[in-house]
Amino acid sequence: MESLECLEETYYTYNIRFGNNSFKYFLYNNELNDCTRLLNELTDIESFVIIADKNVADICGQSLVEQISKEYKCDLILFECTEKNKSLDGLQQLIEKVLLLKATRRTCIIGLGGGICGNISGMVASLLFRGLKFVHIPTTLMAILDSVLSLKQAINSKLGKNLIGTFYTPDMVITSTQFLSTLPNKEVISGLCEVIKNSLTILPETITRLLDMLNSECIYSWQDYRYFIDMSIQAKEQVMKNDPFEINEGLILEYGHTIGHAIELADARGISHGEAVGLGMLCAARISHTLGYLSEQEVYLHKELLEKAGAPTIIPAHIDSDTIMSIMKFDNKRGYISNMPDTVQLLLLGSIGKPLKNQNGALITLVPEEIVIQEIKKMYR
């Protein structure tokens, strides 16, 4: 975190820097009632197109359009933000809609919604006219403290999650903890699973405080949310300051995601991204213990934190384990190291706060497939 300041007790400003890429992150503790003042910091803009999650548009989409329209041309596009629609077809539809609104090189794209909306809006911005200015307005805890704190913009292939994408730096992030007051508990828990991941992998000194704060009823104050956000920004900047593309030290941010993404895509009933990642982390911890690294106590710590947050620690019985293994073969981290037959590439911890490195210093471990299958199956009970 380069700097943090409170302006007129209205919002906090973070100056985010990942390598040579930087942007401002504005965090309100009340309604976004002066967004245009912040957007005026952007240069060479004549119009805005807001791509909004349909579920969010009714709450704040139209009021945001009204604010911006006082000074700029501003249009609103509604998008059904599901993993199925986060696809090439969905991307093309959005691009065509933006073009029909007579977008130019001086149009700024705003993504208003959760992680899916932010990802596909970022793809639209990065591709149109070879790059338009882009602003995130995240409205879920997952997006606020995780997905917008990255340069990665991506959509899904039919074979796997986030396989099609690019790196594109937003021009700013604007959000408010007021959005969190309308979230169902499941969405809050989803975001907290990423907070737990940051604690276990990067900031182990925060674990004791997290254990005191987390509660399955999801009763959190503005100060609690502020702590979760501060902590996540600190963790992200710590590992991405010299690794903006998350291929070296920053790769640890994908802890739990290989198995987690597979669980998420295998579940037609809709387990949340964070819940799936939580299960992926717990399974990764069990695998590390089986390989002789993490202790039983460290595995239990994973489980304890997840349970305190109200997250599941057992894979739902309706999710087929063979489907999980099949999807994992198309994980988007394939290729960081050469693969070997009958192995799975995983990010593991050698101990809490210390990623396991292979002999070449990379954060990828080749794990025998039989061990992965064994530990996944144990996660059903």
**pTM attached to this predicted model:** 0.93
20 and 136, same domain (yes or no): yes
Distance CA(338)–CA(84), nearest Å, equals 31
Q: Which residues of 47-60 are buried (b: 16+ CB within 10 A; e: fewer)?
A: bbbbbbbebbbebb
Residue 59 has pLDDT above 80, yes or no: no
Considering the domain architecture, whether residues 175 and 251 belong to the same structural domain is answered as no
Domain boundary (182, 210, 228) is at 182
Query: For a pLDDT cut of 90, what percent of the chain falls above it?
Result: 84
Of the pLDDT bands very low, low, confident and very high (cuts 50, 70, 90), residue 170 is: very high
Which tokens is 176 given? 């408010």
Which CATH number goes with the domain that contains 130?
3.40.50.1970
Considering the domain boundaries, does residue 201 fall inside one?
no
Alpha-carbon gap, residue 253 to 145, rounded angstroms: 12
Residue 228 belongs to a domain? no
Look up the domain containing 52 and give its range. Answer: 4-182
Selecting among 24, 73, 152, 303, the annotated active-site residue is: 152
What pLDDT is attached to residue 61? 85
**And the tokens for 187?**
């969405």
d(CA 181, CA 54): 18
Q: How many domains does the chain have?
A: 2
For the cut 80, the answer to whether the pLDDT of residue 3 exceeds it is no
If you search the block for the tokens 């292939």, which residue do you land on? 157
Residues 134 and 262 in one domain: no
Q: Say if residue 30 is in the same domain as residue 124.
A: yes
Domain boundary among 167, 182, 197: 182
Q: What pLDDT shows up at residue 244?
A: 96
Q: Is residue 58 predicted with pLDDT exceeding 80? A: no
Residue 292 lies in a domain: yes
**pLDDT for 354:** 97
254 is catalytic: yes
Q: Are residues 134 and 282 in the same domain?
A: no
Residue 7, pLDDT above cutoff 50 = no
pLDDT of residue 321: 95
Three-state secondary-structure class, residue 3: coil
Told to judge if 8 belongs to the known catalytic residues of this protein, a careful annotator would answer no
Question: 277 and 257 in contact (C-beta within 8 Å)?
Answer: yes
> 129 and 35, same structural domain?
yes
Does residue 145 sit in the same domain as residue 246?
no
Nearest 10 degrees: Cα torsion 78, 72, 121, 123? 140
Active-site residue, selected from the candidate residues 254, 264, 275, 375:
254
Last residue of a domain, one of 114, 149, 182: 182
Task: Name which residue leads in pLDDT, 296 or 331.
Answer: 296
Instruction: Please indicate, yes or no, whether residues 42 and 126 belong to a single structural domain of this protein.
Output: yes
Report if residue 253 sits inside a domain: yes
Assess whether 151 and 255 both reside in one domain. Answer: no
Tell me: the pLDDT tens digits for 152-164? Answer: 999 999 888 899 9
